[in-house]
């Protein structure tokens, strides 16, 4: 049942994120053509500011998620009711805090961003703020259906609402050419979606009360407090690592550069979101695995997932490195591209972030938040100091170098150490060896593919771009097979894929 639900969650997440990725790309294309890079930069900047306010969520959703695994497995509906009612009360408080902080930040907007022609930045900001705040009042029940491994049942509703939103946004952009109407369409449809799903979950889990007056027992409350304290530092660290780049660029460079940088990040984020959906689909299942199965099996599954992550993320990272500039040139024009050196560092950051997903999935499922709570803060400080210093010396590349250095200094080794020590009760030595070995193989693969494709040197056109993708896929498969032909994990996945193909073809 656990495996079946995991497959359903992975496949449904993959479908909805694939659909969203395609639609977001279409909407973004229309957005840039109609409104331009200045408004695009404003969109990226305000998104980062609201991400900062989400720090006040403190990671309570992750802590509640972890606390729900056991009572859901045991069908302890009374305890689930108490947890969800507690979660509801806390989220409402957080919603009001976010609203207050958001209004305070609005006072300083003119110091963060210069005026944008024909746009009232305060009205735009309030729309973003409203969209963020409503999340805390109507979406808290999502945690329950996710922890219960049933979020695949929401796919048809999410698909319908997203389809309506994207179509209306395109119509508004083409006809009205209004950024504010574009935003209003989004918050209206998303608000209706949240209300509908809220009611759906209430009906589905009718044996659970979301208005229980009973208090959590001291032990459960202490576990949540401990996990929230740990997650709070992780949240702060995450924001200052991933959410401050646009603010630094806006402050020391300009809003147009923010817009161009956001194009790269949007392509990478859309792809990353699509790929991370695979991990999100198995996190709840792994939480169930941790409750019910032994550590040896947990570690074996983790090693399989980590290897799959390397193959997938190295494939995409190298593809971005050799193909993203030609793609953006075809999509928007060469004036929207960055230098190869900037692109390479962005792609390395993408790979490192991707390789942490398997580790983070285990940490979330096991509720291991407090043991390394100060690490993200140190990483964030390193990131900001280096980024602010280097951006004034060497420009944009200094910002991405700051992120890269902060990624390498701590998370690459610390997070695996934490899960091996507290979850698997084993040494992480083999993990480190395999990580370094895989990174070196990925680096060599990237160098060889770049070298070969530079000799081919096809002129930029749609047909040639498609040919380049085809050539890249063949080269990557050949080189990966050469490097990993004797690797047990590689053999496992090759056998899995070939057996599925044979089954489909009836062989």
Whether the pLDDT of residue 278 is over 70: the answer is no
pLDDT digits (tens, 9 = 90+) for 58-104: 567 766 777 787 788 788 888 888 888 888 888 888 888 888 988 88
- Reply yes or no on whether the pLDDT at 303 is more than 80: yes
Of all residues in the chain, the percent with pLDDT exceeding 70 is: 85
Could you tell me the pLDDT band of residue 290, with boundaries at 50, 70 and 90? low
Convert 57-73 to b/e letters by CB count within 10 Å (16 or more is b): bbbbbbbbbbbbbebbe
C-alpha–C-alpha distance, residues 264 and 328, integer Å: 9
Q: Which two tokens stand for residue 476?
A: 């990557």
pLDDT computed for residue 7 by the predictor: 62
* Span 300-313, average pLDDT: 85
Mean pLDDT of the 193-216 span: 86
| Predicted confidence band of residue 472 (pLDDT cuts 50, 70, 90) | very high
Residue 482 pLDDT grade (very low, low, confident, very high; cuts 50, 70, 90): very high
pLDDT at 444 > cutoff 90? yes
Q: Which one is predicted more confidently, 27 or 49? A: 27
pLDDT at 501: 76
Give the C-alpha separation, 227 to 370, whole Å. Answer: 6
Confidence check: pLDDT of 172 > 90: yes
Distance CA 432, CA 436 (A): 6
> How much is the average pLDDT of 179-195?
90
The two three-digit tokens of residue 89, written as one number: 């009360």
pLDDT, position 169: 93
pLDDT at 77: 85
- pLDDT mean over 43-68: 70
Burial of 279 (0-12, 13-18, 19+ CB in 10 A): buried
Place of tokens 């030595």: 429
152 and 143 in contact (C-beta within 8 Å)? no
pLDDT of residue 460: 80
Are 31 and 182 in contact by the 8 Å Cβ rule? The answer is yes
DSSP per-residue codes, 242-272: HTSHHHHHHHHS-HHHHHHHHHHHHHHHHHH
Averaged confidence pLDDT in the chain: 81
Contact between 383 and 406 (Cβ < 8 Å)? yes
What is the mean predicted confidence (pLDDT) over 253-265? 78
What is the distance, to the nearest Å, from the Cα of residue 386 to the centroid of all Cα atoms in its chain? 24
pTM value?
Answer: 0.72
Residue 120 — pLDDT band, cuts 50, 70, 90?
A: confident
Residue with the larger pLDDT of the pair 293 and 350? 350
Residue 316 has what pLDDT?
Answer: 93
The whole-angstrom separation of Cα 67 and Cα 143 is 11
Read off the pLDDT of each residue in 376-405 and give the average, rounded to a whole number: 86
Query: Rounded to an integer, what distance in angstroms lies between the CA atom of residue 273 and that of residue 270?
Result: 5
Least confident of 93-107, 197-211, 219-233, 396-410: 219-233
The better pLDDT of the pair 199, 364 is held by 199
Work out the average pLDDT over 125-137: 85
Find which of 6-10, 110-114, 210-214, 500-504 is predicted with most confidence, using mean pLDDT.
210-214
């Amino acid at each position: 049942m656990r495996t079946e639900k995991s497959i359903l969650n992975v496949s449904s997440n993959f479908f909805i994120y694939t659909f969203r990725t395609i639609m977001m790309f279409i909407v973004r294309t229309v957005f840039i053509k109609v409104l331009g890079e200045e408004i695009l930069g404003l969109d990226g900047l305000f998104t980062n500011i609201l991400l900062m306010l989400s720090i006040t969520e403190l990671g309570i959703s992750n802590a509640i998620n972890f606390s729900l695994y056991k009572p859901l497995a045991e069908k302890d509906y009374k305890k689930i009711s108490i947890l969800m009612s507690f979660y509801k009360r806390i989220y409402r408080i957080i919603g009001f805090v976010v609203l207050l902080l958001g209004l305070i930040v609005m006072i300083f907007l003119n110091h963060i961003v210069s005026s944008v022609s024909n746009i009232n930045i305060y009205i735009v900001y309030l729309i973003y703020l409203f969209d963020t705040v409503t999340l805390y009042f109507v979406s808290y029940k999502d945690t329950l259906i996710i922890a219960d491994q049933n979020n695949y049942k929401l796919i048809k509703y999410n698909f319908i609402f997203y389809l309506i939103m994207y179509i209306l946004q395109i119509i508004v952009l083409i006809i009205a050419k209004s950024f504010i109407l574009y935003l209003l369409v989004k918050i209206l449809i998303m608000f209706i979606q949240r209300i509908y799903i809220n009611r759906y979950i209430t009906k589905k889990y009718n044996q659970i009360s979301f208005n229980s007056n009973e208090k959590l027992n001291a032990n459960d409350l202490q576990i949540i407090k401990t996990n929230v304290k740990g997650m709070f530092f992780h949240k702060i660290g995450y924001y200052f690592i991933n959410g401050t780049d646009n603010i630094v660029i806006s402050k020391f460079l300009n809003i147009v550069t923010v817009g161009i940088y956001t194009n790269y990040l949007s392509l990478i984020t859309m792809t990353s979101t699509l790929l991370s959906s695979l991990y999100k689909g198995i996190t709840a299942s792994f939480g169930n695995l941790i409750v019910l199965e032994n550590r040896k099996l947990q570690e074996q599954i983790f090693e399989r997932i980590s290897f799959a992550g390397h193959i997938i993320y190295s494939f995409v990272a190298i593809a971005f490195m050799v193909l993203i500039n030609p793609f953006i040139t075809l999509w928007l024009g060469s004036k929207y591209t960055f230098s190869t050196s900037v692109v390479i560092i962005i792609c390395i950051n993408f790979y490192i972030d991707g390789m942490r997903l398997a580790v983070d999935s285990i940490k979330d499922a096991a509720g291991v938040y407090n043991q390394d709570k100060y690490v993200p803060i140190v990483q964030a400080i390193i990131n900001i100091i280096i980024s602010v210093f280097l951006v004034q010396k060497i420009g944009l590349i200094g910002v991405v170098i700051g992120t890269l250095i902060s990624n390498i200094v701590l998370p690459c080794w610390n997070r695996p150490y934490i899960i091996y020590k507290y979850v698997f009760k084993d040494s992480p030595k083999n993990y480190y060896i395999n990580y370094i070995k895989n990174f070196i193989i990925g680096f060599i693969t990237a160098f060889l593919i770049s070298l070969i494709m530079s000799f081919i040197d096809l002129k930029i056109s749609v047909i040639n771009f498609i040919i380049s993708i085809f050539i890249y896929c063949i080269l990557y498969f050949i080189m990966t097979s050469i490097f990993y032909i004797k690797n047990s994990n590689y053999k496992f996945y090759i056998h899995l894929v070939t057996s599925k193909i044979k089954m489909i073809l009836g062989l």
